[in-house]
Amino acid sequence: MKPFFLHPSCSILFFLVTFMISTYVFANDYTNCNNTYSCGTIINLTYPFWGGNRPDYCGEPYLSVSCESDVPKFSVNSVTYRILGWDMKTQNLTVARDDLWDNLCLTSYHTTTFDGTIFHFDNNLTNVTLLYDCRSNNPPTGNSRSCSDGKSVYYALGSSGFEYCTSVFVPIFESQVGTVSGNINLISQALQVGFGLDWENYDECNTCMDSGGVCIVYDGKFSCCKDESSCPGSGNC
């Protein structure tokens, strides 16, 4: 069999088409990630979130946001959170646990953790410890509330677990400590105020956006897409 060779003109055409497709794809990356996501009173969500008209590469893969009854929500480590406040310029992200929004009687117990994510807790927080499934012959003393299943939930300020109970830690703003001290009836109010999160890559993303770029995730890493021709992978960085 004779070897097959492309005519030089065909080779040129092939590489030209490939280049045009690549340019179009990465131009779309810039345009798509320049879109923002809004839901209810929370507007202009950008990196690290994606969803709606923002494809998954516009944010961290585990930070897909959805809009439910005008409330933006995302899930991390088996817990769903409501976004209560957002301002990219001031790195303000306030969230609250959805499962504790109006009910302290959990059916599955997941403590509040952002391990393995870019998030870390704001400095002005303290923990509330919710105690479940406590042994009836040795319950904790103090504040409690009865649940519909006949069990009770107890709470204490701080991260003090109790060996005879299942502990769930939930952060609140330090400004809410006076609200909940000694009154479990007001703890839901404090939980609905939420707590603050900071995130890695904030400075890099802010610098990127100030220069007219958009923040994306390329090859599993944070990247800055400065314009249509300089997105990572376009060959023009």
- Highest-scoring range by mean pLDDT, 75-84, 120-129, 181-190: 75-84
Mean pLDDT of 30-50: 94
Tokens of residue 156, six digits:
């204490």
pTM of the model: 0.83
**pLDDT tens figures, 43-95:** 999 999 999 999 999 999 999 999 999 999 999 999 999 999 998 888 889 99
* Other Cβ atoms closer than 10 A to 99: 19
Q: What's the residue count for the chain?
A: 237
Q: Is the separation of the CB atoms in 214 and 88 below 8 Å?
A: no
Question: How confident is the model at residue 159, as a pLDDT?
Answer: 75
